[in-house]
Structure 1
Amino acid sequence: MLRRKISMALAVAISVSMLGMAGCGSGGNTAVDTSASSAAAGTSSTSAPQSSNEKVAIRILTRLSSNQPNAVAFRDRVKEFEDKNPNITIEDQSIEDEASFNTKFKTAVASGDVPELFQTYGGAAFGEYAKSGVAADLSADLEADKTWSEPFLPVFENFQFKDVEGTYAVPYEFFAVALFYNKDLFKQIGAEPPKTIEEFEAVSEKFKAAGIVPMALGEKDVWRGGHLIANLIDKKLGAQKNMDLADRKARYDDPDMVEIFKIINDWAKKGYFGDKPATYDNNAEKAMFHSGKSAMHMNGSWYVPEATASPIADKVGVVPFPYFSDKPDNQNVWMGGAGGAFCISGKAEGAKRDAALSLLKYTTSVDAFKYYQKVQKGGIFPIKMESDPSVVDRLTVEYSNLLNSAEFKAEVYSYDPLPTMSDKVRNEIQGMFSGQDPEKTAKNIQSEIDKNTK
């Protein structure tokens, strides 16, 4: 793999930035009064080790310090853990503000005194922390406790690296991109939501004939095209294609990739995304869906709360992004993955490591995620569990049920060692919406790699 050698100092800077970035998780938006926070619901099979009553103190550093529902629910769980394990004292050093969090973590890394439990968003640069021992390998712990580890969805790749063995974090946030649709509009044209790309194209033609935009796409926000191509690559070429492009075993101007660009270009010319999609943004796109002007809406799990609060809440359904009928093996490949995750310090030993691991299990167990979902009144999490329809909304239940057999891959360029690839791919796709031909788009993207790897 053509990986550039990153110095440790640069790795720390890059990784800290990644640790503090906003995650695509399941956080809520409504403030909660912490003066009377409820006790955590349910029990967990994971608790502090019973072999010793030794007094031990550990520290945690996350960004879950606000009065938002996700942060309140997490702190509830930590408090319950302390109540059940009086020999363990937890010092919560968490800071919500990104810059302050980054500064505090960077200082801890530089001093060699990282809190026993800390937050990360993973990624390639985080691998430097794995190699340097800042984060501990948790693979043996996950293997030893199947009750804890088996319910997790397969979203650990952000915390696993080719050049160092092990798993270095456990996810607590999650995202995946699906296809939302207006049930009434589908009834109007007498069709079911599409399972395949071919069905997507067929219903799109029917919607066009009825004067309805099939799937508005606010490509003024370039990440919309980025999400679209990620889904098409996953469904047409499979999960491995992402890695082959990053490892330079494949090229963006290969015929199979040019075909993907041609599909997007063809759909745009046919009007599947609406009129001049590069001139309006994601907010306008959602407004079209909520007003019944667009029949389908590609978006992530973070959109579920907005959908349930929209004027068409009772009309919104959700299905996986369609797959190609000649590639059925790829139908369960989703664009998605872990958001935030928790690590244990590589320097934590003995009773401190045992306590940190027990807290990690307690805050990432099935019971914990059920409690988080209850407090937030929804949310999609990185775990297989049955959502209680008496506690959360219908769409959350439907969305969660789709994920149990899925395989997840992030956007194709997120695996690339070249940091400019995210902007390059997205901007070139936007250019295609403005008239650039698919072959030129593919060539321009590949040239970014070629000029930086000579």
Structure 2
Amino acid sequence: MKKRVTSLLASTLLITSVLAGCSGSGGNNNEGQASPSSSATASATSGGDTNTGTASGGAASNDKTFTIRAGAWFLDERAHQVAFRKAVEEGYKKLYPNATIQWDVTLGATYFDKLKAQFASDTAPDVTFYQTLDYAKAGNLMDLSGEPWVSRMSDAAKKDPSLVYEGKLYGAPGSGSIGGGVWYNKDLFDKMGIEPPKTTDEFLAASEKIKAAGKTPIALGFKDLWTANMFLMAWLQSYTFPSDADYGKKLYDGTVKFDDAVIQKVYQQVETMKSKGYFNKNALSIDWPQSAQLFASGEAAMIVQGPWMPASNVENIEKGGFEKFQIGFFPFMDDAGKSSIVFNSGTGLGINAKTKLVQESKDLVSLMVSPEIMGPWLEGEGGLPMFTDVNVQFADPVMDTVKQYLDGGLTLPYGLSSFMPASSANAMVDVLTNVVSGVKFNPADLQAAQDAMNKDKATVVLPAS
């Protein structure tokens, strides 16, 4: 996964990812972290490697010969990704018969280092998927506020912190994603007579019952630190935002400190769960795919992950030859049963501000986000639409449950990590992993997160209110 300084801030959930989806958070710190991918890096290229056409906006010459480059980190060889590329290529040929799309793909978080270097050297793709607004802030992306497809965007998309900077829109939304929650073995819960918990006490009681039955209540794969961040931030957001909508801004302003009693409460709950043996013993030494195997095998009853979990679980069950079961979902909650879910794209589809293929790039983006192409791709991603005219038929009924929580509870386009620098989130995760390792929680340990905020506050790009 990505280098530690940027790998921890998933809200959610990148939304698009190498395995099935992506999470995002505050638009400035979460590159690649909601993208649960392998560490392998690969390139996929179609066509040549030079741009031969020019355009300055307006109507482009449809019979011109040119190569347009499209960048991404998640377009692997899964069937729906292959189908996406094919549909885009065929659709673009109808617009520009002599054009070639060069797919500039580097799988995983390595892509983001590469993209930064490409922008710095003026060699970035004409059209590219991205995850943070650092590129817009640096002037690398074109303002797309006036594009026709903007009117099709949902209200959530128009507030997405990965897309909007200083009142301007710099990217089209990708796959709508929740920032993380608790997925559970519904068959196992039904067999044990456990209802999806609504309060923290019920959550702990369910865990105790599962442990008594000889199962691991919750599978953790904190070797991948972005999963630890997802776990922590998803729970903190349900303890904070439902009671105080301005909690994140107060944390940023300094009127709330990182050792606040509400934040301490979450760490105390984790400490309780660790002491009672509710986590797998190797929680810090296995990665997220290994934790997903524990879940798929039926050895663990719950796992905290993003929206890619249903599709990944089906695949893991098939490959492992495990007994099939229906997956369920519920969000983290606080003591009173309040909860919040982050819902955003976390992934933008932007245009290089220095491209020589202006209209051609706009047409490519417009094609990629058309209902005919976006709908089938979202079905494969397990993602929710962020365009009002895109319909997705989910094969797994758990996604209907996710939508019910989104429709019936507090849904936010940003997570708590949107209001802090990456260094503060890293420090908070350090405290979490120490607690999971068995170290007693000490509120004084959160001072490191506060110090990081004081030092790196200027790097935060606050989400639009």
TM-score normalized with structure 1 length: 0.72
1:121 and 2:131 correspond: yes
How many angstroms apart in 1 are the aligned matches of 2:363 and 2:232? 40
Cα deviation code 1:342-372 (max 9, x no counterpart): 11233569xx544433321221133322222
How many angstroms apart in 1 are the aligned matches of 2:98 and 2:411? 38
Aligned ranges 1:274-289 → 2 under 5 Å: 274-275=280-281, 277-278=283-284, 281-289=287-295
Kept in 1, the 8 Å contact 2:104–2:125? The answer is no
Q: Secondary structure at the match of 1:251?
A: coil
Name the structure with the higher helix share.
Answer: 1
User: How far has the Cα of 1:280 moved from its partner?
Assistant: 5.3
Aligned residue number for residue 241 of structure 1 = 247
Aligned residue number for residue 171 of structure 1 = 173
**RMSD over aligned Cα atoms:** 4.3
Kept in 2, the 8 Å contact 1:23–1:340? The answer is no
User: How far has the Cα of 1:217 moved from its partner?
Assistant: 2.7
1:344 and 2:355 correspond: no
Aligned ranges 1:423-438 → 2 under 5 Å: 423-433=426-436, 434-438=438-442
Cα deviation code 1:155-207 (max 9, x no counterpart): 7202323xx33111112245431221122321232122223334322322332
Q: Secondary structure at the match of 1:181?
A: strand
Aligned ranges 1:138-177 → 2 under 5 Å: 138-141=144-147, 145-146=150-151, 148-150=152-154, 153=157, 156-161=160-165, 164-176=166-178, 177=180
1:369 is aligned, of 374, 390, 393, to: 374
Q: Secondary structure at the match of 2:216?
A: coil
1:62 and 2:77 correspond: no
- Long gaps (5+) in structure 1: 1-16, 36-48
- Long gaps (5+) in structure 2: 1-27, 47-56, 459-465
1:318 and 2:324 correspond: no
1:188 and 2:188 correspond: no
User: How far has the Cα of 1:105 moved from its partner?
Assistant: 6.7
Q: Computing the radius of gyration over CA atoms, which structure comes out larger, 1 or 2?
A: 1
Kept in 2, the 8 Å contact 1:214–1:272? The answer is yes
Question: Percent identity at matched positions?
Answer: 19
Aligned residue number for residue 445 of structure 2 = 441
Aligned residue number for residue 341 of structure 2 = 333
Amino acid of the structure 2 residue aligned with 1:59: I
How many angstroms apart in 2 are the aligned matches of 1:293 and 1:231? 24
How many angstroms apart in 1 are the aligned matches of 2:282 and 2:30? 37
User: How far has the Cα of 1:264 moved from its partner?
Assistant: 1.8
Return 204-213 or 101-110, whichever deviates more.
101-110
2:86 is aligned, of 64, 70, 76, to: 76
How many angstroms apart in 2 are the aligned matches of 1:108 and 1:272? 46
How many angstroms apart in 1 are the aligned matches of 2:30 and 2:208? 44
How many angstroms apart in 2 are the aligned matches of 1:269 and 1:20? 33
User: How far has the Cα of 1:273 moved from its partner?
Assistant: 2.4
1:260 and 2:293 correspond: no
Aligned residue number for residue 228 of structure 1 = 231
Q: CA 1:79 to 1:59, structure 2 compared with 1: closer, same or farther past 3 Å?
A: same
Amino acid of the structure 2 residue aligned with 1:341: G
TM-score normalized with structure 2 length: 0.70
User: How far has the Cα of 1:442 moved from its partner?
Assistant: 2.5
2:95 is aligned, of 63, 75, 85, to: 85
How many angstroms apart in 2 are the aligned matches of 1:276 and 1:343? 40
Kept in 2, the 8 Å contact 1:215–1:273? The answer is yes
Amino acid of the structure 2 residue aligned with 1:260: V
Kept in 1, the 8 Å contact 2:31–2:132? The answer is no
2:202 is aligned, of 189, 199, 202, to: 199
Amino acid of the structure 2 residue aligned with 1:62: G
User: How far has the Cα of 1:422 moved from its partner?
Assistant: 3.6
Cα deviation code 1:235-280 (max 9, x no counterpart): 1101643444344443211222222222222222233325574465
Cα deviation code 1:205-241 (max 9, x no counterpart): 3323434332233445444432222111111101643
User: How far has the Cα of 1:332 moved from its partner?
Assistant: 4.1
Kept in 1, the 8 Å contact 2:181–2:306? The answer is yes
